Amino acid sequence: MTQLFGFGSNGNGQLGIGHLTDTNTPTPCKGIPSTETIEKITGGGNHSAIITDSGRLYMTGSSQFGEHVASSTSEPYYQQRWDHLIWKDVACGWAFTLLLSDTNLVYGVGTSKWNELDGSSTQDLVTVAPTQLKDIVSIACGWRHSLALDQSGQVYGWGCGRHGQLGPSLTAITDKKDIRTVQKIITPQPIVQIVCGHVHTLLRGKDGTVYGFGSNKYGQLGQISADHIILANSVFIDAGWHHSASLDQNGNLTMWGRKDRGQVTYRPLNNIKSVACGSEHTLAITNEGNVTAWGWNEHGNCTTDKDFIDIPITLPQTHIKIIGAGCATSWFGL
């Protein structure tokens, strides 16, 4: 079982803590049965989603069914969704959500103005490109773009490619928005992990090489080479809106990208077990089970009343098992 706590931006009930007020105090989340063990938590613009080890999905927040769909923020706690299917993965975009079932099919719900769902906006669960997206093992969402990874290491992308975040197009680009249907992203080797920033994308290859494409306005692609290589020897990657992170096998955390609100640490961090990038902040779990936080903190998502934290602070809680981050939102589970 997992006891989940949320803190940060909460004006739309996206923390699932029973009210609509921002908080810098980790507060117990509501609606998740005490018997459930959380496998993943992820946040979008004004909503969040949880997958448990039993394959159940729980969601909360105002944008879980789309940008302009009224939802029950009068009951701001996690509620189970679509229990007729067993879920393996979930990813939240700005106002849409992608889901992966145990049959390795991709589903979606929410806003699709930029073809984020490879179809129309919908508040009903729909299957996304079932003839193309087969044997999928993980999914990822940016602000307006989507990715899927299959069991052979092939990556697929769709949605907004305006900043290059979907890689070179396989078809002629006819408009400056570069809105794409589902298509393969050509990679130099099989990929084992996919992550999306606001308008950039990171891929981790089987040998630990990290590739990137999209906007590099804030250095979120680092010192990228001509063949899209950022660094080597990575075992885990993540991305915020304009910053990126990589862990190596020794627990050393490397970060790059936007730094104006402390998003990227000014000193190296080691002994790190897990990392989660929010929109403009980051959380990390140390090998001892402590959580550190840094970055933009306007909504209390780093647990203090300071505007931003450029030197990581350690939260008093211990034995942390899981962390998650979204748009100025943070969670940890005991």
For 89-120, the pLDDT digits (tens) are: 999 999 999 999 999 999 999 999 999 999 99
Please tell me the distance from the alpha carbon of residue 149 to that of residue 187, in angstroms, as a whole number. 12
Q: Which residues contact 78 (CB under 8 A, 6 or more apart)?
A: 16, 29, 30, 31, 32, 50, 58, 59, 60
Q: What percent of the chain shows pLDDT beyond 70?
A: 99
- According to DSSP, the residues that pair with 211 across neighbouring strands are 203, 229
The Cα 230–Cα 220 span in angstroms is 10
Strands 87-92 and 79-80, how do they pair?
unpaired
Band of residue 172 on the pLDDT scale cut at 50, 70, 90: confident
Place of tokens 């069914």: 65
In this predicted structure, the answer to whether residue 70 has a pLDDT above a threshold of 70 is: no
Length of the chain: 334
Which domains are seen in the chain, by residue range? 4-333 (2.130.10.30)
User: Residue 299 — pLDDT band, cuts 50, 70, 90?
Assistant: very high
Tell me the three state secondary structure of residue 194: strand
CA dist 199 and 216 (Å) reads 9
Prediction pTM value: 0.97
Residues 6+ apart with CB under 8 A from 63: 12, 14, 44, 45, 46, 47, 69, 71, 94, 95, 110, 111
